[in-house]
Structure 1
């Protein structure tokens, strides 16, 4: 029964990590432009950020729920960010079409810091964990700071494993794209752009309806 906490943590984390987001894009982009090893550093750090967000949501879920409900402008900022990044990926040109003398843009010296920042400074993920923990408490079992320490350890270990596992799969996808032609890479960036624009559109509709 105690292993159920580990499985639940993995499944909940995978469900939250599967939708294309900033960390996923960073992992794919790093794999294509650099290598899988550096992309995995981002994944390892993102896992830590994910665990901290889940722990934070567990500690003060009620306060955070009220905060986001009373500050809807945060949702508008998030929607705008997704839209701008999506448009960027949609209209960006292939390397062959760019000036070869143009300076290369680096993704950041510290991949660990990049992964942690993208995962931790992510309000939608906080909201996701608030909802996930609330549903767990309502339909499965009580999950609070007073839950036995071994159960919490397994649950958060599952969150970490689920996060880095999902990002690893995204990295492998990016690696396959890197081995193909530049045209395939351009198609990948367009797919990412369309996905982000679609996410911003859906979130915008939800914002207007709410």
Structure 2
């Protein structure tokens, strides 16, 4: 029974991270962009950092999720700020000209830190993971009072799910860049449109709620 609980906890973390990473976000778009501009190996340094950032967010949500949710819902300006930033970055990518730049001065630690910041500063994910804990409570209780080994299994699942899907995003970008000559040239516009649409959807949800 204990073994089943550990496997279930690992699976919850894995599936939760997969669902969180699947929609377009700054993290997976950054991996796609970096793979296209540089290569997959360097993009994975960023992915490692982003996966660790997701683990940190999930861990903090485990301890302070309810409090974070209340603060986030009470102060709408936080949500509005994220929406504005998302749309602004989208517009930036739409108007940005494609330039060839083979110089890559960023080191492996810098790429890792950039990924860590992208994954760890995604504050709305506090709400997401709090919801995951609530939904999964009918199967296994995950909170700050859970056994440490259970929490570790959950966080390992989160890391594996996040990194695994980012790797697939990178592989897809690598394939598209290699086989479709126009992909790299239109990637900025694709990212811009995706971010603007995602921001608009978040704005509509905020108005409706």
Could you say whether these structures have the same fold, taking a TM-score greater than 0.5 normalized by the shorter chain as the test?
Answer: yes
Does structure 2 retain, via aligned residues, the 8 Å contact 1:30–1:107? no
Counterpart in the other structure of 2:171: 172
Q: Could you tell me how far 1:181 is from its partner in structure 2?
A: 4.7
Counterpart in the other structure of 2:128: 128
Does structure 2 retain, via aligned residues, the 8 Å contact 1:79–1:200? yes
For residue 40 of structure 2, the aligned residue among 32, 36, 42 is: 36
Q: Distance in 1 between matches of 2:68 and 2:14?
A: 23
Q: Which runs of 5+ in 2 are unaligned?
A: none
Does structure 2 retain, via aligned residues, the 8 Å contact 1:90–1:193? yes
Asked if 1:94 corresponds to 2:98, the answer is yes
Aligned pairs (5 A) from 1:30-179:
30-95=34-99, 108-109=106-107, 110-137=110-137, 139-179=138-178
**CA 1:104–1:36: 2 relative to 1, 3 Å:** closer
Does structure 1 retain, via aligned residues, the 8 Å contact 2:48–2:115? yes
Q: Distance in 2 between matches of 1:91 and 1:200?
A: 17
Q: Which runs of 5+ in 1 are unaligned?
A: none
**CA 1:61–1:156: 2 relative to 1, 3 Å:** same
Moved over 3 A (4+): 103-109
Q: Distance in 2 between matches of 1:40 and 1:104?
A: 18
User: How does the TM-score come out when normalised to structure 1?
Assistant: 0.89
Q: Distance in 1 between matches of 2:84 and 2:54?
A: 23
Q: Distance in 1 between matches of 2:188 and 2:165?
A: 19
Does structure 1 retain, via aligned residues, the 8 Å contact 2:51–2:159? yes
Instruction: Give aligned pairs, total.
Output: 203
Q: Distance in 1 between matches of 2:193 and 2:105?
A: 22
User: How does the TM-score come out when normalised to structure 2?
Assistant: 0.89
Q: Could you tell me how far 1:105 is from its partner in structure 2?
A: 8.4
Superposition CA RMSD, Å: 2.0
**CA 1:106–1:209: 2 relative to 1, 3 Å:** farther
Does structure 2 retain, via aligned residues, the 8 Å contact 1:57–1:130? yes
Q: Could you tell me how far 1:44 is from its partner in structure 2?
A: 0.8
Q: Deviations over 1:29-68 (max 9, x none)?
A: 1111111111111111111111111010010112111111
Counterpart in the other structure of 1:22: 26
Q: Distance in 2 between matches of 1:17 and 1:133?
A: 17
**CA 1:41–1:158: 2 relative to 1, 3 Å:** same
Q: Deviations over 1:106-159 (max 9, x none)?
A: 68541011000111011122221122222222x332111222222211111000
Q: Distance in 2 between matches of 1:181 and 1:132?
A: 38
